[in-house]
Amino acid sequence: MQGLYPPSESANAQTLANGTTESDPLNGYQYVLVNGVPATAPDIIWLAGDQSCPAMTKASKAYYNSTKFLTMQQQLQPFYDKFRPLLNGILEPSDIGFQNAYNIFDYLNVGYVHNTTVRSNLSSDDLFQLRTLADSQSFDLNYNASSPNTSIGGRTMAANIVSHLNQTAAQTTPALKLTYFNGAYSPMLAFWGITNLTAASPNFMGLPDYASVMTFELRRPANTTGFDDLFVRFGFRNGSDPSAEVTYFPMFGSNTTDMPWGEWSSAMSKVSISSTGSWCNTCGANMTFCVGAASTSGASTNPTGSTVTNSTSGAADTSNSGSSSGLSNAAAGGIGAGVTIGVIALIEGLIALWYFGGRRGRRSSVEKVPSDSGSNGR
């Protein structure tokens, strides 16, 4: 985000009473001001709809009691037992197993980079196997076609994306050029499932890498106007490695990466939870803001206020108008290049893990199993 706010002496220059003009140090260095959302605020559901949700917790318990999970847990126990010396003092002995697939992989994956003891006692093949098993369990916990409650986090996030992208499409906020959201990996997995991105690439059935980014670009061919000429394109960059590039994928089983605005927004709305009341009812939640909201679930609540960064004319401010950022014409031109008229929603999984490329290029003794039951509730 700092790259969108380069030093600018004119952006924050102030004229003093004696007529002299002063600017911030470092040639007018601009600070990016970030607005946080309290964990108890209603707006939290648009980025973390899978949290504080009893229905999701119930679905999660159902997964851990499923035949599929219990069978895999029993078969995989000898594999996980190999790592007890490395996990001693980190996890209780009873917690070392497939039931903690993600946590075990997360700890050992970080240790493989930073801890010489872990690196010298953990083979790359075993680390890859741990990653694959974490993929399988995490996806099953966040998407199951026969159990919509597993994907509540992705469904509220979908509503948030549509709401903000619509501000540019409908020109209700003409200055809006970019919106940035920051969240965890679990809603990303759920979103991939409900939008059928898994059909575009089986790699979407696994965890994203650290600092992965989803982009939604509102596009229009040059010299055209009107809703009929608007298209939405989905892109994904896995991780922050310099070699990682944004790759575009078709959504909802489409044959092309560019979907007409009307078709895309309609498909997104069908998989969305678009009001606070609907979320409260679906989750059976007892959050304070659900009192009264659940009884009016038919009333739409614009999913704004998941504030991250707001700005106008290149200077950051801290208003509560939503997670939007205005860019200067020069900056917008650099992003748009005359074709892309808005990169509106970026969802970044800063605490997400997974190596997106090459996972299926290697096989191990345990194959990744497609989801047939599961939920999320961590």
pLDDT at 161: 93
- State which of 119, 144, 169 marks the end of a domain: 144
In a domain? residue 31: no
Does residue 221 fall inside a structural domain? yes
CA gap 315, 311 in Å, rounded: 6
Task: Give pLDDT, residue 176.
Answer: 76
Task: Report the alpha-carbon distance of residue 273 to residue 278 in Å, rounded.
Answer: 6
Residue 1 lies inside a defined structural domain of this protein: no
170 and 283 part of one domain = yes
Q: Which pLDDT score, from 0 to 100, does residue 200 have? A: 95
Q: What total of structural domains would you count in the chain?
A: 2
Q: Are residues 138 and 276 in the same domain?
A: no
Strand partners, 340: 219
State pTM to two decimals. Answer: 0.75
**pLDDT score of 319:** 29
Of 79, 109, 144, the last residue of a domain is 144
Give pLDDT, residue 326.
33
Which pLDDT value is given to residue 294?
Answer: 57
- Same-domain pairing of 111 and 210: no
My answer on whether 125 and 104 are in the same domain is yes
Same domain, 302 and 191: yes
Same domain, 193 and 256: yes
Same domain, 160 and 94: no
Q: For residue 354, what pLDDT is reported? A: 33
The pLDDT value given to residue 136: 93
- Asked if residue 178 and residue 130 are part of one domain, the reply reads no
- Residue 316 domain flag: yes
Q: What is the pLDDT of residue 226?
A: 67
Q: Is residue 344 part of a domain?
A: yes
Are 181 and 305 found together in one domain? yes
291 & 335 share domain: yes
Is 180 inside a domain boundary? yes
Determine contact, residues 197/267, Cβ cutoff 8 Å.
no
User: 332 and 192 in one domain?
Assistant: yes
> Which residues in the chain land under pLDDT 50?
297-301, 304-378
The range of the structural domain enclosing residue 133 comes to: 58-144
Buried/exposed code over 95-116 (b: 16+ C-beta within 10 A; e: otherwise): ebbbbbbbbbbbbbbebbeeee
Mark 55-78 as b/e (b = at least 16 C-beta within 10 Å).
bbbebbebbeebeebeebbeebee
- Phi and psi at residue 119, in whole multiples of 5°? -65, -40
The verdict on 314 and 224 lying in the same domain is yes
Q: 256 in a domain, yes or no?
A: yes
Could you tell me if residue 10 is inside a domain? no
